[in-house]
Structure 1
Amino acid sequence: MHGEKARELQLFATRQLGCNYWALEYQGHGDSTQNFEECTLTTWLDDVLQLLDSMGSQRQFLVGSSMGAWLALHAALRRPHLVQGLLLLAPAVDISQHWQAVAQPTGVDAAGHELVLLPSAYVEGGGIRVRRQLLEEASAHHLLLHTGQLEALTCPATIMHSIRDDVVPLELVQRLADELQRSSRAFHLELLPDGNHRLSREQDLQLMCRLLGQLVQQTLEGMAL
């Protein structure tokens, strides 16, 4: 909730678009008191769906970064009547396939759950410690392995991704783009020649806001037809 992208989006949404803005702190993240190691992808997807359901019938634009983009896609598929459009930043869709390949065993926790370390240059200590259960449970949420799932997506979607992203491979994002492109819905892929997975440089933040503005305008114009 307190990261550069979240703060920039709040300013842009409220001041430039005149929209309400909500930032979600997943369980086990940031100010949340939940133990991160006890959470799974289902835990965090439930957080997103609960927030959407609490807003009544008003449709929302979802902006998700990395894993958040994966969750935003699932939310749009499960609550199509509540999602107006998607902005997916460095989308880590089906990234658990990569996690399985790089996970390093680190023992067990007090409850006897097997723990693994997921290497990351963006985290102090060189990686994130999770239960292996997270990796295994995430396989049930793959979108690219099960042909046809994304054909049910009904809202416009935009992807923003750096070709130098060192976390989410360009090949994975191109596969996602191909899936989204196959339908008649509005889709746009914005590839950056530089930058990294965080997409938090000043020029990245400006582009993110511009793409969101275009997505909102495009959607509103489509509704007016």
Structure 2
Amino acid sequence: MAETAGALKRPDGETIAWRRVAGRGPTIVWLGGYRSDMAGTKAQALADWASETGRAFLRFDYFGHGESSGELQRGTISRWREDALAVMGELTKGPLVLVGSSMGGWIACLAAMAWPERVGAMVLIAPAPDFTEKLIGPSLDEAARADIAETGVWWRPSPYGDPDPITRELLEDGARWSILPGPVNIDAPVRILQGGEDDAVPWTHSLELANAMNSRDVVFTLIKDGDHRLSRPEDIRRLIQALEEVA
């Protein structure tokens, strides 16, 4: 099936860019990570797979990401959660399978808890729930804390390109959506793929999420030589296998 594209207008005038493959359900929804976009390797691989197999698939860019409008520095977990729910509410019907990568794993969990009647399964890649509080917070040195106190933002160096804007609002808002140590009220089947050499999300953090979930059908896969992105061909194959298992 051919992929279509569009933009969903939000009440504040901002727009969320999306791409969709029509097909049989449940609809698979891609939820990307912080500063990632829907044109990334994993999202594109899933779009290609969906087109080849006749699966329904939806991907989109959060506020301030990719093709969507807005300034990244104004983004928060609340806003990106709202984006996900708005896109799923407007562009899908029936059961959903959420695929969340890094921060997208946190957003996927929040969406699944908001709509338990619609989310039938989840596949999470290096999920980073509570990353603002539990991963970024402890890494802030005195200079970074001073920047946030004085200017409201710390520009964190990134191995992937331009520095990441870590704002006071992002940190404070993230704490409001904390889900660990649990319990995490998700009863659907969950598959978690985690790299053992991930330098952004420790495998112990993802395992904590797996243990906190109410669901009894949770499978945690540690890819010992895998990095944070898990975008190698063999990683993509594992992702598709996990999706075929739960979808």
TM-score, structure 1 normalization: 0.85
1:94 aligns with 2:125: no
> How big is each residue's C-alpha offset from its partner over 1:34-54, in whole Å with a ceiling of 9 and x where there is no partner?
100011010000001111221
> Partner of 2:188 in structure 1?
155
**Superposed CA RMSD:** 2.0
Q: How many residues align?
A: 206
Q: How far apart are 1:101 and its partner, in Å?
A: 2.1
Q: Provide closer, same or farther for how the CA distance between residues 184 and 143 of structure 1 changes in structure 2, counting only shifts above 3 A.
A: closer
> Partner of 1:192 in structure 2?
223
Percent identity among equivalent residues?
30
Q: Provide closer, same or farther for how the CA distance between residues 71 and 202 of structure 1 changes in structure 2, counting only shifts above 3 A.
A: same
Q: How far apart are 1:56 and its partner, in Å?
A: 5.6
Match of 1:10 among 47, 56, 73: 47
Match of 2:90 among 43, 49, 54: 54
1:166 aligns with 2:199: yes
> Partner of 1:71 in structure 2?
107
For residue 160 of structure 1, give the secondary structure of its aligned residue in structure 2: strand
> How big is each residue's C-alpha offset from its partner over 1:35-93, in whole Å with a ceiling of 9 and x where there is no partner?
00011010000001111221464111110100001000110000111211100001011
> Partner of 1:137 in structure 2?
173
2: CA distance, partners of 1:186 / 1:137: 31
For residue 69 of structure 2, give the secondary structure of its aligned residue in structure 1: coil
Q: How far apart are 1:175 and its partner, in Å?
A: 0.9
Q: Provide closer, same or farther for how the CA distance between residues 113 and 40 of structure 1 changes in structure 2, counting only shifts above 3 A.
A: farther
> How big is each residue's C-alpha offset from its partner over 1:131-174, in whole Å with a ceiling of 9 and x where there is no partner?
211011101111113x32x1x21211110001111000111111
2: CA distance, partners of 1:73 / 1:133: 21
Q: Provide closer, same or farther for how the CA distance between residues 54 and 185 of structure 1 changes in structure 2, counting only shifts above 3 A.
A: farther
Q: How far apart are 1:24 and its partner, in Å?
A: 1.4
For residue 93 of structure 1, give the secondary structure of its aligned residue in structure 2: coil
* Larger fraction in strand: 2
Unpaired segments of 5 or more residues in structure 1?
A: 217-225
Kindly indicate whether the alpha-carbon contact (under 8 Å) linking 2:63 and 2:72 is maintained by their aligned counterparts in 1: yes
TM-score, structure 2 normalization: 0.78
Q: How far apart are 1:31 and its partner, in Å?
A: 1.1
Unpaired segments of 5 or more residues in structure 2?
A: 1-37
Kindly indicate whether the alpha-carbon contact (under 8 Å) linking 1:94 and 1:143 is maintained by their aligned counterparts in 2: yes
Letter in 2 for 1:195: G
1:84 aligns with 2:120: yes
> Partner of 1:115 in structure 2?
153
Kindly indicate whether the alpha-carbon contact (under 8 Å) linking 1:105 and 1:117 is maintained by their aligned counterparts in 2: no
* Larger fraction in helix: 1
Match of 2:244 among 210, 213, 219: 213
